Amino acid sequence: MNGTRRDDMLARIREALGDRQRTPEAVEELEQRLTRPPTGPRPRLDADRLGQFVAKAEANLIKVERIASLQMLVPAVRVLLPSTSDAPDISVAPELEHLGWPSTWHVNFGAGRKIEPLSVTMAVAGIVETGSIILRSSPASPTTLNFLPDVHVVVLRTSDIVDYPEDVWARARSESEDWPRTVNIISSPSRTADVGGIIVRPAHGPKSVHLMLCDG
């Protein structure tokens, strides 16, 4: 759209709105919608919210495992590595670098390199209603780790599980730090049925997603 057409369109909108766009009431209404947006109907959740989240995630073909604390993450990842004589070569989000990864492994603490078979990242939230996992980009959690390796290991604290998608955005607005432009909502390994109506998994990205639910 060129500048002239855009200006004409905006002029017509202003003319249609008239003085309503300038009244204090209209401004207050807009502010309220930004800070306290309305919500639609929400489905009833089970009393066992954690159990429902796990059931939804597993129905989405996400493999779920419980670990007592972050200190149990390295042993859990070790089990997922292929049995070869070569030293593992993986990529791990920098925010998880402090967990004591074995010195005999080749561990890249940074963005994906397109060669690692496995990556490990930290989620910021999980959604009970959909069984989805929320990841946000930052220098401590590069987005490329979510999509380049064949196996994606995601760590999620059980305390970060919320009921509905709207709760994720409410949390984002309440936090003092700005959320990035890139927020990934992962509900399952990708799939497609574009060719002949036959479901193919994965269509792109990781072949499997392993969720490590951390209690501590």
Quickly state the pLDDT bin for 211 (edges 50, 70, 90): very high
pLDDT at position 10 is 75
Pairing mode of beta strands 132-136, 183-186: antiparallel
Examine the pLDDT at 64 and tell me if it is beyond 60.
Answer: yes
| Angle value at C-alpha 167, between 132 and 65, nearest 5 degrees | 35
Report the top-level CATH class of 47-214.
alpha beta
pLDDT at position 3 is 61
pLDDT digits (tens, 9 = 90+) for 80-91: 998 877 899 999
pLDDT at position 138 is 92
Examine the pLDDT at 57 and tell me if it is beyond 80.
Answer: yes
pLDDT digits (tens, 9 = 90+) for 18-44: 655 567 777 787 777 777 777 788 999
pLDDT at position 95 is 97
Q: Give me the percent of the chain exceeding a pLDDT of 90.
A: 61
Q: How far apart are the first and last CA of the chain?
A: 52
Task: Give 196 or 2, the one with higher predicted confidence.
Answer: 196
pLDDT at position 113 is 95
| Alpha-carbon dihedral sign for residues 22, 24, 30, 35 | positive
Pairing mode of beta strands 125-127, 132-136: antiparallel
b/e per residue, 72-86, with b = 16+ CB within 10 A? bbbebbeebeeeeee
Domain residue extents for the chain: 1-37, 47-214
